[in-house]
Structure 1
Amino acid sequence: MVEENSLTSQFEAHRTHLRAVAHRMLGSYAEADDALQEAWLRVSRADTSEVENLGGWLTTVVGRVCLTMLQSRRSRRETPLELVAEQEAAASPEHEAVLADSVGLALLVVLDTLAPAERLAFVLHDLFAVPFDQIAPIVDRTPAAARQLASRARRRVQGADAAPDVSRQREVVEAFLAASRDGDFAGLLALLDPDIVLRADEATVRTGATAEVRGAESVAETFSGRARAARPALIDGEPGAVWSVGGTPRVVFAFTIAGGHIVAIEMLSDPELLAGLEISR
């Protein structure tokens, strides 16, 4: 009973985040609540004794539920966006406070054009910074394939408003690499979002890298005076960098850039994952 009460309290502690994930996935408050109810039923029956990152695990469970719900929409009529608008307009102040950062209708229109797996990969990675190695098992694909799903979705989302300025993003990457090589700490800070997240996959961690670094100053310290051999490259069509040995990519740096600032960097060196990426200069 004590263990059950503890799990209940932990689920409630993550409810705001989980509801935001479900709403952005499904575009409906009602369906988001249904998804959380189904997720809780699954969680309450599961053995969580060996779960190290409960928040991440709960996000995965909600993601699986939402994916199933999205796939089922193909056999029934979609929720009309007009109904979603009415639901948003009728939401109570408390509901609005809980979901204040929920996606707007304009993005929902675009998300509704994506395949379920693309939508999930894009929402979890780009909106909630979930690593691709956690997304991959949800969509039953490799991390590289999950990355490509999110990349395709991102291009469609960006294309719905305006084409991404790849040349400008590449300039940001080149400036970052130059500042890194020169040990220009101030230059690095100017390019980094204050809340930037740097993540390394397991293969990179085994070489001595830190799994996750947060904040502009910490990330700038990590790269200052380094990245001397990294060169700009397109990773699945998006600006990034690669360190190669004898022409073979060893480490890929995947950048997420928004508003002229770097908001996330992923260091990837798993050979299987790198083999699935499209890398070009």
Structure 2
Amino acid sequence: MLRIIKNAENEATADKVLMPIHLLIACLQEKTGLLGEISLKCELKVSSLRALASNGMENSTTDSKKDLLFNVPVSKDVQLVFQEAAICMKNYNQVFVNEGHLLKALLTTKVIDQYLSEEDKKIILNLGTTSRDMVAHLGEFNFPLAGANIVRRVNNNDYSSLLQFVEANFSSEWSQTLKDGFLADAPSIYIAVADEEIIGFAAFDVYKGRKCYFGPMGVSKSNRIKGVGTLLLHQCLREMKEIGYEYAIIGGAGPIEFYEKACHAVVIPHHRF
């Protein structure tokens, strides 16, 4: 997200006010991950959008304001977009605004509708604003050993407390998945514990019995910026590698940027667009 904001600011240099179209251009300049997939499959051209942005400023009386998030003045529409993105973030029980939240906010607020065809909107909505499956190559990745003091494999005594934690903080669906995981002789489920309380969990090979499949994973909201999720992820992926798995599928990844950074995972492309 920081790179998108910086690139949007660069796009706004000539116009002196950052507008939603500059955010759209910055998103299309990303050539990896879900944004790279969108830029390949949409008919949008950055050069054409730049021309439209300049023409729009010539005929505009856009009010601009200073905003702590940006180094340049921004339009009221940009402020509206980030307010909507923050709402989206909270609705998903997350703590950072990510590129998916931004794309959804750009569409929801309709501030870029004039630049998009209906097909463009459909592509952005389906590729950029929903959870996506990812894949991580385990063969050459060396996982740090930190975190052994708070992360451990579950035992039968953890059954009730873990399910209560998951149902209170996440969903009954995840709770059922973990119940199924506990049926194994050695459940491939790990928990993070602080002050004798569960603060996070991660599992693999438990979702519908699928092998090489990581997830679900969850960390209590108050602990999400402390690296707990990374510790849990690395513990599971390290064990998957030791089992002999060359790749790990990360199913329905919400915070895509997290997995890109934490284990170099990449989005599995959709083939229907």
Q: Is the TM-score greater than 0.5?
A: no
Q: Which has the higher contact order (CA 8 A, sep 6+)?
A: 2
Larger radius of gyration: 2
| TM-score normalised to structure 1 length | 0.28
| TM-score normalised to structure 2 length | 0.28
Kindly indicate which of the two structures has a greater share of residues assigned to helix. 1
